[in-house]
Amino acid sequence: MSEERKSRSSRPDAPAPVADNGKPTKEPSVNRELVRHRASPHSYLSFVLVGTFFTGLALHLGSDLLAGILFATSWFAVPLFAFYDRFEFDGSTLRRTGLVPKAWSAITASPSAIRLEDIELVETQALRALRRGGDVYYRYRTLIVGEDVRFNVVSGSDSYRQLINSLFSVVPEEILDNRSVELRDYYLDPKEVQTKVRFAKIPSAAVLEPSIRSRASASGTARRHEEPVDPDEIAERAGYLRQLANELRVNGYLVQALEVFRRALRLRPHDGWLLFEFARCLHSYAGAEKSRGLERKAMAALRLAERKAGTDEKLLSRLGESYFQYGDWQRAKRTFERTIDFAGDSYRSVRGMAELALREGKIAHVIHHFASANRMAEIPALRRWTSSEAAYFDRLNSDEDYMDMEISRVNLLDSLERSKKTALRITVLGLPLIICGMIMEASLLANFGWAISGVSLVVWIGIVISRNMFSSRLPIESE
């Protein structure tokens, strides 16, 4: 059951269309143009740094030819590979192009593309990369999972917005998590959002921020004579303000978003969706400010939205996901159960119950909930994913040897992660010895530093490769 999708107006004076529940709607996308987005250069940058280190080591050992090859590879070939490593979406298939992904796909016999109907899961994380005044620069990381394919798409340019807008508009909503739904509906060009802000006469963050803490949930100090009186005009104005507030929120303009939410709530104080989105915005601002008081206000706003939700199955399931995300496990469980009681076939709530049961270690409950979600899923990709999850946990529950092997694998991954960090620290600690040895012309000290850093870096590379090898689950059919 996918909800009506929200439309965005390119004109700041045009309010978004509003559905019966006051929620802005969005027409289905018909864009079939090829959209490209450059893959994250993080792994390529790591290779450049490693190659540079071994270039210096080769020079130190007197092997100029090897040093030249390593330098040329690290500083010319690798950036070229990174430049051509891109994600492409043509409306039906998401693929990763470039020499390195294709070579890796050929070596591992894994696909380098995923069809739209094979996407099983989409999850987006928001990372606070930079804070300036009341604004937060978010770096989004989107995980797209399909059959034998996992793509990590990281923001960093306008092409990311174009890619996720094109992709998310044609992906069923049941596959998207909360953050992905918000990006689909509200992730606009920041310049366009600021144009709307100037039209709506919203003060700057510097003006608004001093009053945020004192009235994060206040709504009674604005000029009442400017409020519309006609019910249709109120609904239209509230829908426009809600759209603008969410667009500000996902673009990191949290202080201005809170002010616009405040204005919208004065018009529709009992709107459950509006309270829910205001609470998520306030929680994001509380995280940026590291304020426990604002965080408590955000959770109180979530509970108020839950009371106003009534029998809105979509809102309640989204509320349960937010409680789960914020660590309120008991409230999440009660919300999911309430949704299932009167909706019955709420796929998102049943899947949420499975994740809660997994956190509590109740494997039998996990199997039951994934089996129920499998019966409710209307999309073939979701039926395939829930079926595989149920089969995996059933094997864990029934085969002690398989469970022991999986526990050993997970423990090994944790140990490798700790060892990777330790090896990297030791590599960095050897660099001052190298520098001091070169400055003081103390060859023994320099050799000692090269040996420490070189061995540690080789160990680090081995750990990275090992983690990739052991990151996948053991096959269910294995003996």
Nearest to 319 by CA among 285, 356, 279: 279
Mean pLDDT of all residues in 18-35: 53
pTM of the model: 0.84
Give 207's strand partners: none
pLDDT at 214: 55
Please, which pLDDT band fits residue 478 given cuts at 50, 70 and 90?
Answer: low
Q: Which of 125-134, 276-285, 388-397 has the lowest mean pLDDT?
A: 125-134
Structurally, at CATH architecture level, domain 190-400 sits in Alpha Horseshoe (1.25)
Q: How confident is the model at residue 226 (pLDDT cuts 50, 70, 90)?
A: low
User: Averaged over 409-428, what is the pLDDT?
Assistant: 93
Do you know the residue count of the chain?
479
Contacts of range 11-20, beta carbons closer than 8 Å, 24 or more positions apart: 12/192, 12/195, 12/196, 12/198, 12/199, 12/200, 13/199, 15/236, 15/237, 15/239, 15/240, 15/243, 16/239, 16/240, 16/242, 16/243, 17/239, 18/235, 18/236, 18/239
pLDDT at 311 over 90: no
For the chain, what percent of residues have pLDDT higher than 90?
64
| Cα separation values, 165 from 37, 90, 149, 178, 437, Å | 12, 12, 21, 15, 54
The pLDDT-based confidence of 227 (bands split at 50, 70, 90) is low
CA triplet 298, 304, 307: central angle to 5 degrees?
A: 150
When pLDDT is averaged across residues 290-303 and rounded to a whole number, the result is 92
Q: In whole numbers, what is the pLDDT of the chain averaged over residues?
A: 86
Helix (H) and strand (E) counts in the chain: 19, 7
Question: What was the pLDDT predicted at 56?
Answer: 93
For residue 279, is pLDDT > 60?
A: yes
**Residue that the structure tokens 């044609």 belong to:** 170
Share above pLDDT 70 across residues of the chain, in percent, rounded to a whole number = 88
Q: For residues 293 and 296, what is the distance between their CA atoms, to the nearest angstrom?
A: 5
pLDDT of residue 151: 93
Higher-pLDDT residue of 220 and 76 is: 76
pLDDT recorded at residue 24: 47
d(CA 236, CA 22): 9
Q: Say what the pLDDT of residue 342 is.
A: 82
Region 72-76: mean pLDDT is 94
Domain boundaries, the chain: 190-400, 407-470
